[in-house]
């Protein structure tokens, strides 16, 4: 399943888009990758690092900031983004004469996409997925377009095959127009004894009901619609329940987390 636009903040996405414009000279595209990564660090990575690192943030260079994300992210994914940053550096300092290719730029773009999805997987691995009964995490997550939810939950399911994750992933498949895949997924979960017969029947029925009512649901097919849906939701979430996950979604969709910070 292809994700064209990564789940990063609006400013990051702007420069990500610039980097994809192949008619631009390659050093401009490389520079835009670096700027995109800088905003990723300052607007997303910053939210997850230790208080010690936050206190030193203004003194860190881009490499230091990326390295801090290894505190909560898969190191392989982070290292790919560090390589992408290196491509950006070559564009800034060497122009078109830098030793990098169009293929390197494409790999850097893919590294940004990968990182943006793994932020969510890493968050769920650390915090669970709506384990606390009053958590707004699953509800806020459901405002994202289904295509993103499918990719993220498929990766997270590998480490958490709880019924809530199975339920959310089957529904994400369905809302993404992949009803057959939803049925196959539930059957696989039943065959692997991750669901008992009663649970399998209930979730299968939910998927069939959802298929018949898709046209009546406010499903976001793009990030702008997701933004509107999320902002409608945030009004009903008490401020004391607006945790770091709510801040992450807000940063990605609105460009700010709603928290006061200085960097």
pLDDT (tens digit per residue) in 11-49: 999 999 999 998 888 899 999 999 999 999 999 999 889
Q: Residues 57-82: what's their mean pLDDT?
A: 95
Q: Is the pLDDT of residue 146 over 70?
A: yes
Q: Which pLDDT tens digit goes with each residue over 207-248?
A: 999 999 988 888 998 999 999 999 999 888 888 878 889 999
CA gap 186, 175 in Å, rounded: 15
Q: Which residues of 53-77 are buried (b: 16+ CB within 10 A; e: fewer)?
A: bbeebeebebeebbbbbeebbbeeb
**How large is the angle between the packed helices 163-175 and 179-191, nearest 10 degrees?**
160
**What average pLDDT is seen over the chain?**
91
Q: Residues 96-104: what's their mean pLDDT?
A: 84
Angle at 37 (CA atoms; ends 34, 42), nearest 5 degrees: 130
Phi, psi of 87 (to 5 degrees): -60, -45
Q: What pLDDT, on the 0 to 100 scale, is given for residue 92?
A: 82
* Burial group, residue 212, by CB count within 10 angstroms (0-12, 13-18, 19+): exposed
Q: Residues 121-130: what's their mean pLDDT?
A: 88
- Give the DSSP H/E element, type plus range, for residue 227: helix 223-234
Among 57-66, 83-92, 150-159, which stretch is predicted with the lowest mean pLDDT?
A: 83-92
Residue 62 in tokens? 């881009």
With CA atoms as reference, report the closest residue to 141 among 106, 163, 185, 171. 171
Q: Which pLDDT tens digit goes with each residue over 177-217?
A: 999 999 999 999 999 999 999 999 999 999 999 999 988 88
Q: Residues 164-176: what's their mean pLDDT?
A: 96
């Amino acid at each position: 399943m292809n994700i064209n636009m990564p789940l990063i903040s609006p400013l990051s996405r702007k420069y990500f888009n610039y980097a994809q414009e192949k008619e631009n000279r390659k050093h401009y595209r490389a520079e835009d990758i670096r700027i995109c990564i800088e905003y990723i660090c300052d607007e997303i990575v910053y939210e997850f690092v230790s208080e010690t690192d936050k206190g030193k943030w203004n003194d860190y260079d881009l490499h230091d900031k990326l390295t801090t994300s290894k505190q909560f992210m898969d190191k392989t994914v982070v290292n790919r983004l560090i390589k992408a940053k290196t491509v950006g550096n070559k564009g800034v300092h060497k122009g078109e004469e830098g030793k990098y290719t169009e293929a390197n730029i494409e790999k850097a773009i893919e590294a940004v996409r990968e990182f943006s999805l793994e932020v969510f997987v890493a968050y769920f691995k650390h915090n669970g997925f709506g384990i606390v009964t009053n958590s707004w995490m699953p509800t806020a997550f459901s405002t994202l377009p289904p295509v993103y939810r499918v990719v993220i939950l498929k990766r997270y399911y590998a480490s958490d095959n709880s019924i809530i994750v199975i339920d959310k992933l089957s529904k994400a498949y369905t809302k993404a127009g992949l009803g057959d895949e939803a049925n196959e997924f539930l059957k696989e979960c039943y065959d692997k004894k991750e669901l008992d017969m009663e649970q399998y029947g209930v979730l299968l029925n939910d998927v069939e009901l959802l298929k018949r009512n898709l046209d009546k649901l406010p499903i976001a097919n793009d990030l702008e619609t997701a933004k509107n849906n999320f902002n409608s939701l945030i009004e009903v979430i008490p401020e004391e329940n607006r945790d770091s996950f709510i801040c992450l979604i807000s940063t990605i969709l609105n460009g700010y987390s709603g928290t006061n910070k200085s960097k």
